Amino acid sequence: MAVAKLRMKAGTKGINTLPFAAKGSYIFLNTFFMDKNHCIAITGAAGFIGSYLTGFLNQKGYTNLILVDDFTQPAKKPNFIGKRYARLIDRNSFIEWWTGRADAVQYCFHLGARTDTTEPNYAIHKHFNLDYSIAVWERCYRFNVPLVYASSAATYGNGDQGYDDTGALPTLMQPLNAYGISKNQFDIWASRQEYKPPFWAGLKFFNVYGPNEYHKNRMASVIFHAYNQIKQTGAMRLFKSHHPNYADGQQQRDFIYVKDIINIAEWMMRRKPQSGIYNAGTGKARTFNDLATAVFNAMQLPVNIEYIDTPTDIRDKYQYYTQAKMDKLLAAGYPHQFYELETGVQEYVTQYLKENKYF
C-alpha cells in the first residue's frame, strides 16, 4: 500500500478496543520504586534495547523477568545468554499466555517491534507495531499494569512540524515510511482510548546507539557501521548533502546513548509522571562529521572522511535535521544528564566494539 494512502488511515478509526469486564487483583500504587518481588514483562527482550534493559535491571537486582521475543534467531542469542530471568516466552504465545494469568505481570516494558525502516510491506509493520501493541495495551488495562512502550522519532517525518512532544498532534504528523506510519498509528490509537492502563508512557526514541546491536546489520547505528568501516578501510564514508542549507557531513541527528534511553524508561516506570507521549532524545543535534570524528578519536586514528552520493531511492525521504524537544520530560522532573556524543561513543567503542562485548 502506498505511503500516501496509509497516511489517510492515520486515525485508525476502524480499530476499536473492547473494555474487559474483569480485572486482576493487583492494586496499582503510584510509588517511586518497582518491587523486586513483582514480575516485569519485557517484549523485544532479545533485541538491542530490550536486552540492554534486561541487563540493566539484573544489575539492580531484578530477576523476576518475563522475557518475550523470537528467541530462535542465532544472531540474537548472545543478547540474552547469561541474563537472569524467570522465563522466556515466544512473542507469538505471549498474549494468549498473559490473557489467562491476571496476576502474572505487574510492570510491562513493550519494546518489541519491527524496526526496519526500509521494509515497504505495511502489513508486516501493522502486525508487529500496531496490532500487537494494541493487544499488549488491552491486557495492561485489563490487569491494571503500568506500561512503558517504544514509539519512535520516525513518527515526525521530515520534521517540518518540529519535534515537539507537547505540540504537534500525532494525527497531523507525516511519517516518511511504513515503519513510522505504524508507530504513529499506535500513538494516535493510544491517545484516543477511554480505557487505559493505570499509567502509560510512549517514548519517541531518536537515534539510539550502544551495546547489543551486533545483530541489526544495516539497521544498526551509524556509530556501529562507522567503527567497522574504519577498522576495515581506515576511512569513513558519509552521504553527501543534496540540500542547499547543509554542507557535506553537516546533516544533523539527535544521537542518544542506549544508557540514557534505559534511564528514561526505568525512571518513567518508577516515578510515573503524567501519562502520555514523551520524546527520548538528548535535545542536542550533532553533525555526522562530529560523529565520525568521535569514532576516529575513540579508535585513536586520524580523521579520514569520504563523501558519497545519497542513494536516489532514499534521497527524497532523507532527514537532514532531528532534535528532540525535551522540555516535557524535564518538566516532569527527569533528573539525569544525557551523555555527550563524544563520551558515549568513547565508551561504546573502547568497552564494547573493540572487545566484541555485550552488556
Classify residue 135: in a domain, yes or no. Answer: yes
- Paired with 201 in beta bridges are 148, 276
Q: Which of 179, 214, 257, 352 is catalytic?
A: 179
Cβ neighbourhood burial of 229 (10 Å; 0-12, 13-18, 19+) = middle
**Structure-block grid coordinates of residue 147:** 506500561
User: What's the full length of the chain, in residues?
Assistant: 359
Task: Name the band, by pLDDT with cuts 50, 70 and 90, for residue 11.
Answer: very low
Higher pLDDT, 22 or 93: 93
- The rounded distance, in Å, linking the Cα atoms of 151 and 181 is 11
Cβ neighbourhood burial of 93 (10 Å; 0-12, 13-18, 19+) = exposed
| Predicted local distance difference test score (pLDDT) of residue 168 | 58
Classify residue 358: in a domain, yes or no. Answer: no
Task: Name the band, by pLDDT with cuts 50, 70 and 90, for residue 32.
Answer: low
Tell me the CATH number at 314. 3.90.25.10
Same domain, 154 and 295: no
Classify residue 359: in a domain, yes or no. Answer: no
Same domain, 159 and 247: no
Same domain, 32 and 52: yes
Tell me the CATH number at 264. 3.40.50.720
Classify residue 181: in a domain, yes or no. Answer: yes
Least Cα distance to 254 among 161, 324, 159 occurs for: 324
**Structure-block grid coordinates of residue 151:** 514509539
- Ranked by mean pLDDT, which of 4-13, 116-125, 153-162, 216-225 comes out on top? 216-225
Same domain, 138 and 223: no
Q: Is the pLDDT of residue 19 over 60?
A: no
Q: Is 5 a catalytic residue?
A: no
Q: Is the pLDDT of residue 224 over 90?
A: yes
Q: Is the pLDDT of residue 8 over 80?
A: no
Classify residue 295: in a domain, yes or no. Answer: yes
Q: Is 179 a catalytic residue?
A: yes
Classify residue 307: in a domain, yes or no. Answer: yes
Over residues 233-284, the pLDDT tens digits come to: 999 999 999 999 999 999 999 999 999 999 999 999 999 999 999 999 999 9
Q: What is the pTM of this model?
A: 0.90
Same domain, 144 and 171: yes
Same domain, 168 and 220: no
Same domain, 162 and 234: no
Over residues 183-207, the pLDDT tens digits come to: 999 999 999 999 999 999 999 999 9
Torsional class of 291: left (φ above 0), alpha (ψ -120 to 50), beta (otherwise): alpha
Query: What does residue 88 show for φ and ψ, rounded to 5 degrees?
Result: -105, 135
Average pLDDT over residues 20-48: 72
Q: Is the pLDDT of residue 103 over 90?
A: yes
Same domain, 99 and 175: yes
Q: Is the pLDDT of residue 13 over 70?
A: no
Task: Name the band, by pLDDT with cuts 50, 70 and 90, for residue 167.
Answer: low
| Predicted local distance difference test score (pLDDT) of residue 117 | 77
Domain enclosing residue 34, as ranges: 3-209+256-283+324-340
Q: Which of 9, 26, 196, 216 is catalytic?
A: 216
Same domain, 143 and 232: no
What is the count of structural domains for the chain?
2
Under 8 Å between Cβ of 324 and 252: no
Task: Name the band, by pLDDT with cuts 50, 70 and 90, for residue 318.
Answer: confident
Average pLDDT over residues 168-194: 87
Same domain, 104 and 120: yes
Same domain, 223 and 329: no
Share of the chain above pLDDT 90, in %: 75
Same domain, 139 and 274: yes
- What Cα–Cα distance (Å) separates residue 50 from each residue in 185, 238, 323? 22, 29, 24
Q: Is the pLDDT of residue 9 over 50?
A: no
Classify residue 137: in a domain, yes or no. Answer: yes
Classify residue 28: in a domain, yes or no. Answer: yes
Over residues 272-315, the pLDDT tens digits come to: 999 999 999 999 999 999 999 999 999 999 999 999 998 887 78
Report DSSP state, residue 286.
E
